[in-house]
Structure 1
């Protein structure tokens, strides 16, 4: 499993969310991923800046990735941790608390 974390202009910066310790959040995401045999990839802009901070969860070999936005506090990280422990995308239903954070990926030109 892979967690892609946006860390560009809005996600991961104090410009939009000065109350968040973004370095600590990235460390926590890496701890959570490691506990479940996943890895974290840090990405430049994922083009959903209005929903920062963004995390995309995907299983290798396909399956639809789950895009989560407004990942801003320890509570939602705990929800993410519990979902991954239960199996994550394709193996466990997305809990209601994370469903509130589900966002649509950006529509790329030519992909319609």
Structure 2
């Protein structure tokens, strides 16, 4: 049996977030974009993170710390962000291990859809 995607959904990475990371498809909802961005942290893909960050708030570069191991994602809530909407939020808790300590990042992220693509804007 194949290992589930790091984003927490049961599909294996190549069929789940891997298709977004490869550019085969764009995430259809704000939550799927958030999951795929978490997964990009987990697999070490800063290019995808920058590509899905809204140009108005995107940093010029992004360096991931290879010592930070992302271990689990919890979706705590969402507003909007569906197939038929153009904005939404996703509240989540991202668990990670760093220097032998278990930590978590809690955030309520804001997303917008422009020209059919979802982008991460910022944290509320």
Which band: TM-score by shorter chain? Answer: 0.3 to 0.5
In terms of fraction of residues, the more strand-rich structure is 2
The two structures have a TM-score, normalised by structure 2, of: 0.30
In terms of fraction of residues, the more helix-rich structure is 1
Bigger RCO (CA 8 Å, 6+ sep): 1
The two structures have a TM-score, normalised by structure 1, of: 0.33
